[in-house]
Amino acid sequence: MKTKRPKREEIPAGEVPCNYCPGKCCRYFALPIDTPESQREYGFIRWFLLHEKATVFVDEKTWYLLVYSKCKYLDDTTNRCGIYETRPKICRDYSSNKCEYEDHYVYEQYFELPEQIEEYADAVLGSLRKQILRSIP
Output the pLDDT for position 81: 95
CA 109 – CA 29 distance, rounded (Å): 17
Output the pLDDT for position 3: 65
Q: How far is CA 19 from CA 69, 118, 122, 130, in A?
A: 21, 41, 45, 51
Output the pLDDT for position 4: 80
Output the pLDDT for position 1: 42
**10-residue block means of pLDDT along the chain (137 residues)?**
78 91 94 96 97 97 97 95 96 89 86 96 75 54
Query: DSSP 3-state assignment of 36?
Result: coil
Residues in the chain: 137
Output the pLDDT for position 97: 85
Output the pLDDT for position 135: 57
